[in-house]
C-alpha cells in the first residue's frame, strides 16, 4: 500500500500486464493499492506511454 488506506483496495500489477504479460500471474508482481492510488498510478503510466 502506498497511502495506508484500508478501504476500496485493488490488487495491482507492479509491472503492467501490457508491458510484461509473462508476469501476469506472478505474486511478486502484485501490490495492494487503494482506488485513488491505483488511478494515479494508471494515469501516470498512460501519460508515460503517450510520451508526455
Over residues 23-43, the pLDDT tens digits come to: 999 999 999 999 999 999 999
* Alpha-carbon gap, residue 49 to 47, rounded angstroms: 5
Kindly state the DSSP code that residue 17 receives in the 8-state scheme.
T
Q: Can you give the pLDDT at residue 2?
A: 77
* Residues in the chain, overall count: 52
pLDDT at 1 over 90: no
Segments making up each domain of the chain, as ranges? 9-49
Amino acid at each position: 500500500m502506498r497511502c495506508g488506506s484500508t478501504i476500496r483496495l485493488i490488487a495491482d500489477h507492479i509491472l503492467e500486464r501490457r508491458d510484461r504479460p509473462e508476469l501476469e500471474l506472478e505474486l511478486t508482481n502484485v501490490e495492494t493499492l487503494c482506488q485513488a492510488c491505483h488511478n494515479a498510478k494508471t494515469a501516470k503510466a498512460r501519460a508515460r506511454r503517450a510520451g508526455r
